[in-house]
Each structure stands twice: as structure tokens, then as C-alpha cells.
Amino acid sequence: MNKFLWPLIGFLVLVVLLAIGLNLNPREVPSPLVGKPAPAFALPRLDNPAKTFSPEEMKGQVWLLNVWASWCAPCRAEAPILQSLWEEYGDDGVSFIGLNTRDSPATANSFEKAYGITYPSVVDSDGRLQLRFSGIAPPQAIPTTLVIDRDGKVAGRILGRASESTLRSLIEPLLASASDPSPSTATPTATDD
């Protein structure tokens, strides 16, 4: 009897695990960062290196930080989407900040010109800041996008190319929460292919 019971129990455990796995959303990647303060940094702006940008400037605003590089194919694919959403949501008070990494300023400027990027970017030419973000995203995870709420906390993270629908699903609840006094729930972390 035991000879047949253990394989049956093992099979039932596998069926239960499979059923649980099939009900999970493969686009949701749990992140310990969601709900935590946005990373602190101060970097020179790409358009004016004499000026620096710091997340402290964004207090009270919904904003998006997109880590990109000119040599990154998914960054090129998402650039028009980010620009379009910046144009759409900018009037609603959502700021977009690019974090260019491992590029020269001249190369980064050429990328922004080629893709018509008008939101500001900061420069991390040697990738040191990105290495400090290793708890947020692996250094090779370019692009990575963080959506930060009005309280300066990370509301969502996208690893890889961001789709328009995923970005909207992270931004719109934050805009709605400004007019809705009820507490909002944290938006799940996502990854796009």
C-alpha cells in the first residue's frame, strides 16, 4: 500500500503547485522596492551639465525614472512610447526623467535628438549610480523604469522594455489617488518583454 501511496502524494503535490503557478501573472515580478523611498542621487543634467537633478526636486509629484542607454535596443523601442506618454501626462503633473548610463554625453544627446526626447535626462557616464541601484535592478537590466508616487515612494518597477499599457497601469492609479482621499494599494512590479 505504501508503495503506491507516496507516488500518489507526490503527484498530487505537483498538481497543486502547477495549479498555483498557472494562476500567477508572469508579468508581475515581486520587488522589495515597492513602497520604499525612491533612490537618492544627484547627477548632472544632459541638456545642461552645470545643473544637477535630484529626486528631492520631485517631492509631491508623480514621476517616472527610466534608465536607458543609446546602445540598448529595447531602449530604442520604448523611447517613442515614453515620449508620447510624457507629452500626454506632463499636463497632469507627471514628470519623466531619463537616467542615461554608460554613454558619453554626445552619444546620449544624439540619441535624444534622433528619438525626439524632450523630457530631461541625467548622465551616469561610468555606470556608478546604476551599480548602486543593484538592489533595485541588476546592472545589466537596461532599460529599467521606476514609477514614483507623490510621497517619493516607488509604486512600480518595470524590468526591460516598457509597454504603453503597463506604464499607464502604473501611472493612472497614482493620478487617481490624488483626487481620491481613500488609501490606494501598492501597484505590482511588472516586467515587459
Give residue-wise pLDDT tens across range 7-55.
Answer: 888 888 888 877 777 776 544 556 667 888 888 899 999 999 999 999 9
Which pTM value belongs to this model? 0.77
Q: Which class in CATH covers the domain with range 62-177+185-193?
A: alpha beta
Residue 189 has pLDDT above 50, yes or no: no
65-69, 138-142, 181-185: which has the minimum mean pLDDT? Answer: 181-185
Confidence of residue 137 (pLDDT cuts 50, 70, 90): low
Residue 163 has pLDDT above 80, yes or no: yes
d(CA 177, CA 181): 7
pLDDT value of residue 183: 40
Of 76, 70, 67, 72, whose CA–CA distance to 41 is shortest?
67
Task: Sort 34 into a burial class: Cβ within 10 Å, 0-12 / 13-18 / 19+.
Answer: middle
Give residue-wise pLDDT tens across range 114-123.
Answer: 999 999 999 9
Give residue-wise pLDDT tens across range 57-92.
Answer: 999 999 999 999 999 999 999 999 999 999 999 999
Average pLDDT for residues 152-156, to the nearest whole number? 91
Tell me if 79 sits within 8 A of 115, measured CB to CB. Answer: yes
d(CA 13, CA 190): 28
Tell me if 55 sits within 8 A of 152, measured CB to CB. Answer: yes
Give domain limits for the chain: 62-177+185-193
